[in-house]
Structure 1
């Protein structure tokens, strides 16, 4: 009986590495691959992002990021077989919720946050503390590189 591997993507290099790792693991185990991204409005959308067109659709942008991540990281057959999930809400909570019943949850060590001094980013830290299944955190660049 095969399971399901959930992987979070945001388009960052660590997320792409996590996606590649998760796809390879799914190929080894026979598990299905579910690729997840999320989006949420800032508390004060219009004041935080002046000049953003009113027709701006963050859910559509999240779908485009998810599709571009699959295209960039995986071969076409593997990308086509992956389940694509876009969730509105906090990224860490979206991953924890989606991972219910999963065999494994995979994330990159950090996303686009500018705070590089921490060992893990906020999403990967939250996920490792609250996930309902085992978690693999795929490291991005090391401090030496």
Structure 2
């Protein structure tokens, strides 16, 4: 029996980049015999947006967290199925946490062997060299950060 060594944290938001990051993290965790923690961060809608009709009244914070947790678990299951049999041997936990994505990921990665994130997620601005969440994670995480691209750079094609 191979003992689990280490911990890999991966941030997902459903984007192609986060799917690529999740695939990388699954393979890396299998290679290291590490456990994987999948984290999906979400912001609660601000009160003013609901009060002024800009957003529909949201469910309770608990219901919102459960919805994100379910969606994230489905994404993890799909990506793990795509990656292949070695991924099935990776002990995995999935968490949906309210808060700013960069802070949530930096906090979750405290003491981890690596934090794996996508190059840019849903909030990225085209043309940026690195997404704002990725940049903040690289600057503030206390462990190595792996930034994964979903597609090769134009000069690499």
| Structure 2 unaligned spans of 5+ | none
* Equivalent in 1, 6, 9 of residue 3 of structure 1: 6
Q: CA deviation at 1:42?
A: 3.6
Deviations along 1:107-126, one digit per CA (max 9) or x if unpaired, are 00011125111011111111
* Equivalent in 113, 118, 143 of residue 103 of structure 1: 113
Rounded Cα–Cα distance in structure 2 between residues aligned with 1:45 and 1:84: 29
* Equivalent in 37, 45, 51 of residue 49 of structure 2: 45
Rounded Cα–Cα distance in structure 2 between residues aligned with 1:34 and 1:49: 34
Flag as ranges the 4+ runs of structure 1 deviating above 6 A.
none
Rg larger in structure: 2
- Contact persistence 1:2–1:29 (CA under 8 A): yes
- Contact persistence 1:71–1:79 (CA under 8 A): no
**CA RMSD, aligned part only?**
2.3
Q: TM-score, normalised by structure 2?
A: 0.81
The corresponding residue for 2:147 is 137
The corresponding residue for 1:20 is 23
| Structure 1 unaligned spans of 5+ | none
